[in-house]
Structure 1
Amino acid sequence: MAYSWDNRVAFVVRYLYDIDNNGYLDARDFHCLALRTCVLEGKGDCSSARLQKYQHVMLSLWEEIAQLADFDKDGMITVDEFKQAVMNSCVGRKYDDFPQAMKAFIETNFRMIDINSDGVIAIEEYRYDCVQRIVIEDIKIIDEAFYSLLNDDDRRKGGLTLSRYKELFAQFLGDHGDDCEAKHLFGPLDM
């Protein structure tokens, strides 16, 4: 049940977008997300130029999500509204067919996880990302989740490249089944 499509999409809302943890998405979440992204990618540095770039990316993402998901036009997007929007715009689609602002967010998220900026999310970076969001008692569980994502090419490269991350993210949202290959993209989910 933890890896059902419903739970995977709810995870995205709760742990990637709903920064203030109030149970719904609104413009404030994306303002905060811009600052968080700037600080994390800058490893503590938050230059005005980079912050402005992320404000543009995140507010564009908010506007796009609001157009796709704010069905009652109240300025707030519930988990159910977000699920419906993902169903309409992502399920059964490849990454290239995703909404543009969502693709920008996915690429930005990859850069935040890729702490050493070498173009590969290695196991240490994956672990770091996982423990920031979810409570886990045993490192082996995180490691097993990471290795379950890797194909032979990923193993040769030492982890997930941006192109592979985009492919897995598209599966995480777009594969309506409960046992998709990308189910561990954000770690061992327990919702």
Structure 2
Amino acid sequence: MKYSWENRVDFVVRHMYDIDNNGYLDQKDFECMALRACIIEGKGDCSTGRLTEYLHIMRSLWEEISELADFDKDGRITTAEFREAVKRTCMQKKYDDFPQAMKAFIETNFKMMDLNGDGVITKDEFRYNCITRIAIEDIEPVDEAFDNLLSDDDRKRGGLTLSRYKELYSLFLGHPEDNHEGIYLFGPLPSD
């Protein structure tokens, strides 16, 4: 149940998109994500130019997600609406077939995780990302999740490249089963 498709999609809403924790998504959440991405990538620095780029990405993502998921057109997206939209646009699809703005978000998320900018998410970077989202009291489940993500090639290179991250993200969102490596993309998921 912890890694069920529903719980994975709900995790994305609660722990990645709903920045203000009010129980639904709106444009404010996406503008806050832009600021967060700018500061994380800049390791505290937030240049006006870079923030403008992130605002463009996140506002585009909001507009696209609104078109796909705000079924009642009230300017808010509930978890149920988001889940239905993901089912329609991502279920059983490869990364290249995902909506364009979602792909931009995923690629931005990779950049935020790749703290040293070398193109590979290492175990340390994965750990850091996990603890910024959820309360974790033991590092072992985080490390196990990372190890479960890695293919032999990933192990040789010391982590996940962008192409591998995209592949895992498409599994995380797009495959209803809970018996693949993609379920571990964001570490141990809370079961609530």
Shorter-chain TM-score tier? over 0.9
Q: Which runs of 5+ in 1 are unaligned?
A: none
> Which residue number corresponds to residue 62 of structure 2?
62
> Which residue number corresponds to residue 145 of structure 2?
145
Alignment of 1:28-107 (within 5 A): 28-107=28-107
Instruction: Please give the alpha-carbon distance, in whole angstroms, between the structure 2 residues aligned to 1:141 and 1:33.
Output: 26
TM-aligned CA deviation for residue 140 of structure 1: 1.3
Instruction: Please give the alpha-carbon distance, in whole angstroms, between the structure 2 residues aligned to 1:66 and 1:106.
Output: 17
> Which residue number corresponds to residue 161 of structure 2?
161
Instruction: Please give the alpha-carbon distance, in whole angstroms, between the structure 2 residues aligned to 1:127 and 1:73.
Output: 37
> Which residue number corresponds to residue 11 of structure 2?
11
- Given that 1:14 and 1:21 are in contact with CA atoms closer than 8 Å, whether structure 2 keeps it comes out as yes
TM-aligned CA deviation for residue 46 of structure 1: 0.5
TM-aligned CA deviation for residue 178 of structure 1: 2.4
> Which TM-score applies when normalising by structure 2?
0.98
Q: Deviations over 1:29-85 (max 9, x none)?
A: 011111111111111110010000000000000000000000000000000000000
1:123 partnered with 2:123 = yes
Q: Which runs of 5+ in 2 are unaligned?
A: none
Identity among equivalent positions (%) equals 66
TM-aligned CA deviation for residue 180 of structure 1: 2.7
Q: Look up the equivalent residue of 1:76 and give its one-letter code.
A: R
SS class of match (1:183): helix
Q: Deviations over 1:99-144 (max 9, x none)?
A: 0000000000000000000000000000000111112221111111
Cα-Cα RMSD: 0.7
Instruction: Please give the alpha-carbon distance, in whole angstroms, between the structure 1 residues aligned to 2:50 and 2:103.
Output: 18
Instruction: Please give the alpha-carbon distance, in whole angstroms, between the structure 2 residues aligned to 1:29 and 1:35.
Output: 10
**Greater mean alpha carbon deviation, residues 175-184 or residues 152-161:** 175-184
TM-aligned CA deviation for residue 13 of structure 1: 0.4
1:185 partnered with 2:185 = yes
